[in-house]
Amino acid sequence: MNYDAIIIGGGAAGLFCAIEAGKRRRKVLVIEHNAQIGRKILISGGGRCNFTNIHTRPENFISRNPHFCKSALARYSPQDFIELVKKHKIEFYEKKLGQLFCRESSRLIVEMLLRECERARADIWADCSVKNIEREPDRSFELETTGGNLTCDSLVIATGGLSFPKVGATDLGYSVAKQFGLKRVETRPGLVPLVFADGKGLSSLAGVSIDSIVYAGKREFRENILFTHRGLSGPAILQVSNYTQKGVAVLIDLLPVKSEDEMLRLAGTSRQTVDNFLGRFLPNRFAEAFCDPVLAKRRLDQMNKKDLGGIVKKIKNWQVKFSETEGYHKAEVTLGGISTAELSSQTMESNRVPGLYFIGEVVDVTGWLGGYNFQWAWASGYAAGQAV
C-alpha cells in the first residue's frame, strides 16, 4: 500500500499533521502503536487538557537553538487553535497565566482531532507497530508494520519523548534518527518533581502546598510548591526542574507577599514563639516542622537580631539541593531530542534525508508547563503538514 505521507505517532502533533496534509489532498496514514488514539492528550491537564497558552512566545521554550521554534509558532498561533476549538463548540476557560482548559473533558479534543482527520480523509491505524523502516533507491520509504508493508514519499516521526511510559512512550523516534544518521541532544526528564539531596525531617510535610517564588539561575517562577515524601513538586518546581543542575542549590522564597525588612519588623515586635509567628503566614504543619524543635518554641522578643535575621533569611532565601528527579514515569515532558540543527525550521524536514520529518516532543524543543507543549505540537504539526 502506498501513501503520500505516513505519520508514526497518533498524538497531538501526529494527528494535527495528518489533518493539515489531508486538507491538501495528500493521501495520509497515521500509525499508532497503542490501541487507543491520543492517550497522552486524554490524561493531560487532569483530564481536561490544557490545550494551549494564550501568552505563547519563543521565550517559553527550551532548545539548544532558541530561535528554531519561532517560524512554526508564528505560522500557527494559539488563536488559530482556539478558533478550531470554537468551531467544534468545545467550551473552555482560562485557569490562570493564560492556560486554557476544556470545561468538560480532554476527550473532546481527541474527538475533535479525529473528526478533522476523517474530514481530511486521513487514515488511522491503531494498535499497529512499526517493525522496520528502509529507504528505497527512489528515495521513498518502505515500512514493515504489524498491519502490513507500506511505502510513502514522506515519513513523519511524531512518536513523542520518553515521559509517561505508562501510556506507551518509546524511544522509536530516536532510533529512527540514529538509523538515518541524525544527531540527538541528550535527553532527560522535564517538568518533573525533584528529590531532596538531604530531606531528613521534611517527609512529614508531604501534601503541604505553599505559594512561593522558585529561582534557578536567571529563571524564576511564582506558583505553588508541593512537599512530597521525597522532595518537592508543584507547578513552580516542575517549571524550574527544566533549569536545575545536579548539586547546584535552588533558591526558594517561601513568603513572596512579605519583604525581608517587613518580616524583621514584625518579628522584632512579636512576643509569639517562632512556630506560632510563622504560622500566621504559612501552614501550621510547615511552621512546626521547618524550624529546629528547640528554636521553634523560643519567643521572638527573647531573641537577638542575628537569630531573627537567620529565621527570616531561611524563609525568604531557602536554599535547597536536589540529588535527582523522580524520573520519566513522573515527568510531563522529555528535554532534548532530535537536534534542531538537523531540521528545517520552516518544514521540520531533515536537512540530510529528504522526505523525513520530525515533529512535536521528539524534537529538541520543550515548552514550559501550562499548555506550551501542546502549542508546539499543533505548530510543528502544522508546519510539516504544509510540506509533506
Q: Please tell me the predicted confidence (pLDDT) of residue 370.
A: 97
Residue 209's pLDDT is what?
97
| Dist. CA 254–CA 192, nearest whole Å | 20
Q: Give the orientation angle of helix 12-23 with respect to helix 107-119, to 10 degrees.
A: 30
Q: What is the pLDDT of residues 216-272, one digit of tens each?
A: 988 999 999 999 999 999 999 999 999 998 889 999 999 999 999 999 999 989 999
Nine cell digits for residue 6: 505516513
Look over the chain and give the mean of its residue pLDDT values, rounded to a whole number: 95
Last residue of a domain, one of 309, 325, 341: 325
Q: 144 and 47, same structural domain?
A: yes
Domain final residue pick, 276, 294, 325 = 325
Residues 83 and 49 in one domain: yes
Residues 227 and 114 in one domain: no
Q: What is the pLDDT of residue 247?
A: 81
Show the low-confidence residues of the chain (pLDDT under 50): none
* CATH code for the domain in which residue 381 is found: 3.50.50.60
Question: Is 114 in the same domain as 209?
Answer: no
Q: Which residues contact 280 (CB under 8 A, 6 or more apart)?
A: 272
Question: 277, 296, 325 — which closes off a domain?
Answer: 325
Would you state the pLDDT for residue 295?
82
Q: Which residues pair with 273 in a beta bridge?
A: 299
Cα separation, 366 vs 168, in Å, equals 19
Q: The pTM is what?
A: 0.95
Q: Are residues 175 and 278 in the same domain?
A: no
Q: Do 369 and 239 meet the contact criterion of CB atoms below 8 Å apart?
A: yes
Residues 213, 66, single domain; the answer is no
- The enclosing domain of 300 has a CATH number of 2.40.30.10
Q: Are 167 and 140 in contact (CB under 8 A)?
A: no
Tell me the residue range of the domain where 73 lies.
2-189+331-385
182 and 263 housed in the same domain: no
Query: Based on the domain organization, do 141 and 65 belong to the same domain?
Result: yes
* Shared-domain flag, residues 235 and 275: yes
What pLDDT is stored for residue 61 in this prediction? 98
Residues 312 and 336 in one domain: no
Q: Do residues 254 and 164 both lie within one domain?
A: no
Count: domains in the chain: 2
Q: What local confidence, expressed as pLDDT, does residue 241 receive? A: 97
pLDDT at res. 200? 66
Please tell me whether residues 66 and 96 are part of one structural domain. Answer: yes
